[in-house]
Amino acid sequence: MADEKEQPNRSANGLSASDFAGVGIQFAAAIIVFLFAGQWLDRRLGTNGWFTIAGVFVGGGGAFYNLYRKITAAQRRDDEARRRR
């Protein structure tokens, strides 16, 4: 109970909204950056949208991987905090 009073913006499992506040923007930015990179490659090489499609999937995959890393790191921190209690 004392830990909850010291950190009022934390939920019962030790995570807060600020831990994941920028994830949506990072997700969108990764997709947009790789979308434009794919379009640039398509114009440069004369392909018909293949690199644009690949860029969207690479950007989405990278964004999902980043989200996965953030969630697993937060879970590890939460598990360690629970062990210390």
Tally of residues, the chain: 85
pLDDT for res 1: 47
Which parts of the chain register pLDDT below 50? 1, 4, 8
Residue 65 covered by a domain: yes
Range of the structural domain that residue 79 is part of: 21-84
Q: Is residue 44 in a domain? A: yes
Residue 75 lies in a domain: yes
Tokens 């598990």 label which residue? 79
Supply the pLDDT for residue 15: 63
Count of domains in the chain? 1
Q: Is the pTM of this model over 0.75?
A: no
Q: Is residue 12 part of a domain?
A: no
Nearest 10 degrees: Cα torsion 13, 19, 23, 24: 80
